[in-house]
Chains A and B, each alone.
Chain A
Amino acid sequence: MRRELGMGVALFFMCLGLWVSNPDFLGQSNAINTLRQISMLGIFAIGIGFVIVTGGIDLSIGSMVGLTGVIIAKLSSTQSGGLGYPLWVAIPAALGIAVLLGLMQGLLITRLSLQPFIVTLGGMLLFRGLSQTIADGGTLSLGGSPLLDLASGGILRVQGEPLLPYPFLIFLGVIAVGSYVLHFTVYGRYLFAIGGNRDAAEYSGIAVRRIEASTYLISAGTAGLAGVCYAAYIGQMSQQVGVAYELYGIAAAVLGGCSLRGGEGTVVGIVIGAAVMRVIDNGINMFQIAYADQDGIRRLWRLNPNWTFVIIGAVILVAVVLDQVVHLVQAQRRVRESSLSVTRGPTPDARSLKPQA
């Protein structure tokens, strides 16, 4: 929980700083938009967290987000290139395809003992290509579709704008179900056991392969849900939607305390991680410092948006470095105490000296 707590505190101060620098940060429109962004990222980041807890990885998520959206657009769009089916056909079909593709990847990984990195890398390229083919290299417009209300609409309307957008409600649902499954069920316990020691899980009679395969299905399913939201939010689907989202998802999970070695992670942490990612993103636009130039005219200094990736990358690195430094310092202190003190405790474990990020 150390990482979750640390990131939670960091998130709080980040928001505080942004709000002080620019009160619009918590203004209704920006706050709700950021909330929507956090929600859409968080939905699939939680799914990818299930894979990461078992020690796997899913690189196909970004493409899956895009593919779901493109399929929905293709099936339901009433504009050029669209087939004009109703949404209640298009959305379940798209989600079904996503889940099926995820299951296929999971089966390839577990039945043929292939490495998740390679299989999902293949999936990432393949699904991206499928999107391109379906959209015929261009754009499918959802203009006029009732789906657009999913992103813009919500409940608790104030001055015409909803306080709680629908994607956020979906996110809450995913958080609730995800937390229950990961932390309170037998299945969740098995995920942690597999990530901690695959052999131990196997020797304990756990159907390791079936459970591992199911995590890729979950991850693809949440990517599908996120894909529906993104389609509604963007309204124009092309092969470009969702590019590199898997890396945002992984970054959110790791920032929130998941270990890529498996066996560690919490839903709460992933939620915080997703929020941190999106607040930084938004903060780069919002951050401003008022100053007076030579002529005494008040001006606002803003960050150059070209710095976005530099800042996000640096934040990720700083977070894992800080975490590791704390870890090493603690390990060293333990070593010194047990080496030189007169207490006859057990010999410290050499493993505790090794990195564990």
Chain B
Amino acid sequence: MSTPRAAGQSECLLSMRGITKRFPGVVALDGVSLELRAGEVLALMGENGAGKSTLMKVLGGAFAPDEGQVLIAGRAAAIDSVRAAQRYGIALIHQELSFAPNLDIAANIFLGNEISGRSGLLRPLPRRALRARAKEFLERVGLFVSPDTPAASLLTGQLQMMEIAKALALNARIIVMDEPTSSLTAGESEKLFAIVRQLRADGIGIIYISHRLEEVMALADRITVLRDGRHVGDLEREKASHEALVSLMVGRQMSGHYFPPKAERSAGETVLEVEGVVVQGTRAPVSFSVRQGEILGFAGLVGAGRTELMCALFGALPVLSGRMTLRGKPYAPSQPRDAIERGVFLAPEDRKRHGLVLPMSIAQNTSLPDVRRYRRLGVFDRKAERRVALSEIERLRIKARGPEQKVVSLSGGNQQKVVLGKWLAMNPVVLILDEPTRGIDVGAKAEIYRNAAELARSGIAIIMVSSDMEEIVGLSDRVVVMREREIRGTLTGDEISSERIAHLMTRAEKSTGGQAA
């Protein structure tokens, strides 16, 4: 199956030339060119909206380009459907993994590719043969589970491997991975990197889309940067630097004050105290507290139990045992409504699903948790709703045409700000931010950080769960580190460094230090 080609630097697998794609009112891609050689990892970088996904959709046959040409192995290719892309040996692994949870692994791996001849939908399904072949591909990607396992029971990292197996089953020569590590644990990511390197050695060309600079620097042979639909740079890995890439992506020099200085904040009294709490997903009782005006970071790998804990604080998951105190009074939310009434708000990890009603406007989203407040003489007061939304748009610098704009048409960063604005309009006591910058580009991240710091300064207690080490270190006044569903330590002030956090996060057993914060 593999092609033992000696570092095929010369063979040009894929060449996209002058690709232009226009949508009504926008030029999504403006004469973008890209080259991929066999046995190379090409990182494709750029902020959200830079055109990476559009370019890959052109490659994958979902969009037809208005101009430009795609050459596969030197020959012009007409990629006008997903099937055509597959025939040219192109496989896309989407960021939001798309698999059929009701089917087993073997069925997912060969979905759309059951019978090589492809003729005759009514031909019998060769179950046994598919199962055996699935097993082969699973072993190749290091996923040692039975092909009969339902896909729904796999973890995110395993699903990623299943998707790669699917690409291999298609006999793909070009594999596109879109943000593959965005929801993987460090261990799973390492495994993924090993497989990517293996694929590269087998002569497969990989286009690797990622926001994570460290990852790109570790993995890529070359880096192509897009900005605003244009190709703005091609760098060899050796010549690329962290700063150079960021400034290429953003189009301006990032100021040194990416994170607002911590010195400006001072913590007041304890607001929320959590004692011996056990929730779905925690292994041992968890205790910590958060004070007024501080940002308490929650570091840990995905699956460390942080999100479940935050959901419990917000009343979205039951607290199985333990005790919580909010401003000196017992606090036991049994549903989010109870938490909201006490001023404890959650900006959830999956903002599109749990944070916003996408087809509604900014104003409607802002008033949603507190509709009763907008009653005047028994009638809903749209003017007041608009006024409040407008003031949040200004405070958070949300880029929108106005409060009437539908949330679905905003960028990720601005959507996150609408989630924040929704809660700010209600005067939070404790604000929980779960992965506040996931999938948000560099520029918008800086603004979210500034907003968070300002809120803390105004006396709100902020709990921030993040898998982004940089932001945990840069923003938190104190850091709680979780591992395998229990608290492994708390760091304050100068103790907060990526090395120490990583140490706590990854070490199997910890001999010293308590669990409580």
| A contacts, CB < 8 Å to B | 181, 184-190, 192-193, 195-197, 199-206, 211, 263-264, 335-336, 338-340, 342, 344, 346-351
Contact = CB atoms under 8 A, between A and B. Distances in A.
Nearest to B279: A339
A190 B121 contact: yes
Interface string B196-230: 00000000000000000000000000000000000
A145 to B, nearest CB: 35
Contacts of B283: 339-340, 342, 344
Interface string B262-288: 000000000000000011111100000
B82 A204 contact: yes
A346 B280 contact: no
A294 to B, nearest CB: 55
Contacts of B439: none
14 contacts: A189-B107, A193-B100, A193-B111, A196-B102, A197-B98, A197-B101, A202-B82, A205-B85, A205-B113, A335-B280, A338-B280, A346-B155, A347-B281, A350-B280
B123 interface: yes
Contact of A203 (B98, B102, B107): B98
Nearest to A341: B283
Interface string B99-111: 1111100011001
B interface bracket (residues with beta carbon within 8 Å of A)? 35 or more
A186 B121 contact: yes
B122 A197 contact: no
B100 A187 contact: no
Contacts of B152: 349, 351
B81 interface: yes
List 5 tightest A-B contacts by C-beta distance, closest first. Answer: A204-B112, A196-B100, A196-B102, A263-B102, A200-B98
Contacts, number: 110
Contacts of A200: 98-100, 108, 111
B196 to A, nearest CB: 20
B474 to A, nearest CB: 27
B40 interface: no
Interface string B480-509: 000011000000000000000000000000
Given A335-B280, A339-B280, A185 B123 contact: yes
A187 B122 contact: yes
B100 A197 contact: yes
B278 A340 contact: yes
Contacts of B82: 202-205
B369 interface: no
B46 to A, nearest CB: 22
B111 A204 contact: yes
Interface centre among B86, B124, B278 (most CB of A within 10 A): B124
A204 B152 CA distance: 18
Nearest to A259: B102
Interface in B1-26: none
Nearest to A195: B102
A75 B276 CA distance: 79
Nearest to B114: A186
Contacts of A197: 98-101
Contact of B100 (A186, A263, A342, A349): A263
Nearest to B61: A205
B114 A192 contact: no
A9 B458 CA distance: 64
Contacts of B122: 181, 185-187
A264 B98 contact: no
Contacts of B112: 190, 201, 204-206
B343 interface: no
B98 A199 contact: yes
Contacts of B99: 197, 200
Interface centre among B102, B107, B122 (most CB of A within 10 A): B102
A348 B280 contact: yes
A196 B124 contact: no
A192 B100 contact: yes
B51 to A, nearest CB: 20
Contacts of B282: 339
Contacts of A350: 280, 308, 311, 317
Interface centre among B60, B108, B278, B280 (most CB of A within 10 A): B280
Contacts of B94: 203
Contacts of A205: 81-83, 85-86, 112-113
B92 interface: yes
B303 interface: yes
Interface in B159-175: 166
A114 B323 CA distance: 51
A169 to B, nearest CB: 23
B98 A184 contact: no
A189 B110 CA distance: 10
A186 B123 contact: yes
Contact of A339 (B86, B102, B278, B303): B278
Given A188-B125, A205-B83, A346 B303 contact: yes
Contacts of B166: 204
Contacts of B98: 197, 199-200, 203
Nearest to B93: A203
Contacts of B92: 203
A136 B354 CA distance: 54
B412 interface: no
Given A185-B124, A186-B125, A192-B100, A339 B320 contact: yes
Nearest to B126: A186
Nearest to B87: A205
A301 B305 CA distance: 60
A181 B166 CA distance: 24
A90 B153 CA distance: 52
Contacts of B81: 205
